[in-house]
Amino acid sequence: MELAEEACYWYEKRFRIETLFSDQKSRGFNLHKSHISEPARLARLMIAACLAYIWIIYLGVVAKRDGWVAIIHRTDRCDLSLFKLGLDLLEHFLNEGLTIPIAFQIPASVESVR
């Protein structure tokens, strides 16, 4: 029974990991198109992509926190992930010539962004 409970615990976390992988690949950075096979080069690319991922998620939080969602997405509901909101907000800032927030802090409570 202990092993089954532990397996269920870890399986519940699966959706978060798969979201990261799909954002890194087909829904975001398209890393699968790099065709890099040398492990050291791939590791450096993944480090850079993961840092960029954290920043894009932060921009998604900024979009929700500061009311940008109404400008960059539909107003009746928001069905986008923080990653997609962040990418859309970055695109909006670039298109409009607005200042892009670069420095960021992790909120004291994750609950404050939900």
| Residue 89, amino acid | L
Pick from 94, 89, 91, 96: nearest CA to 104: 89
The total of structural domains in the chain comes to: 1
Please name which of 99, 15, 111, 21 lies closest in space to residue 61, comparing C-alpha atoms.
111
CA distance 93 to 90: 5
- pLDDT confidence of residue 33: 86
Looking at residue 87, what is its pLDDT? 93
pLDDT at 38: 93
**What pLDDT does 19 receive?**
77
Instruction: Identify which of 27-36, 42-51, 104-113 has the greatest average pLDDT.
Output: 42-51
User: Across the chain, where does the E strand assignment appear?
Assistant: none
**pLDDT above 70: percentage of residues in the chain:** 89
pTM of the model: 0.71
Would you state the pLDDT for residue 26?
A: 73
Separation of first and last alpha carbons in the chain = 34
Residue 113 scores a pLDDT above 60: no
Which residues constitute the domain of residue 31?
2-113
Q: How far apart are CA 60 and CA 82, in angstroms?
A: 4
